[in-house]
Amino acid sequence: MFPERLRALRRGQKMTLGQLAEALNHLPDTELTHRKNTAAQIGNWERNLRTPSYLEVRKLAEFFHVTTDYLSGRADQEEYDLGRIFLSGKPLTFNQERLSSEDRYELFQLMNGYLHGRQQRVTPDADGQEELDLHFDN
């Protein structure tokens, strides 16, 4: 399961093996970044020829923002509560651009308004057309 999930995550980011190795090598300094990664090493993991250490799996999970359980196949992608994520202190990015606290608040408000407004919408008819009620009284 690990090789398939790693490959899917990497390809989902449209990264080559070399680009992933380089990205992992440039993670902020932690106990996870002492050993440098190579494209060949990651390719061996994806082909199930070698098994990464626990620290390497943690590094991959951190990079792809998934759990180690997800990578190892013990769990499907967990469900995330976007409200909690937006209101947490964790750094957030969108399309590789870091969101400011003001951005986070505005996006939270937009999503919250959308979801609450959804209750007011009229469902589409058989032709897929929504009825627009402008509240004109005859």
Task: Render each residue's pLDDT in the chain as its tens digit; 138 residues.
Answer: 899 999 999 998 899 999 999 999 888 766 555 678 999 999 999 999 999 998 899 899 988 888 888 888 877 655 667 777 777 777 888 888 898 988 888 888 898 888 888 777 666 666 666 665 566 565
CA–CA–CA angle 68, 100, 119 (5° rounding): 80
DSSP secondary structure letter of residue 98:
E
Tell the burial category of 39 from Cβ atoms under 10 Å away from its Cβ (0-12, 13-18, 19+): middle
Position 77 in a domain: no
Q: pTM here?
A: 0.55
SS3 93: strand
Q: Which domain holds residue 86?
A: 82-120
Cβ atoms of 69 and 75 within 8 Å: the answer is yes
Amino acid 39 reads: A
* Residue 64: how many other CB atoms lie within 10 Å: 18
Cβ atoms of 122 and 130 within 8 Å: the answer is yes
Amino acid 114 reads: Y
Tell me how many domains the chain contains.
2
Does residue 112 share a domain with residue 53? no
Does residue 100 share a domain with residue 50? no
Does residue 63 share a domain with residue 90? no
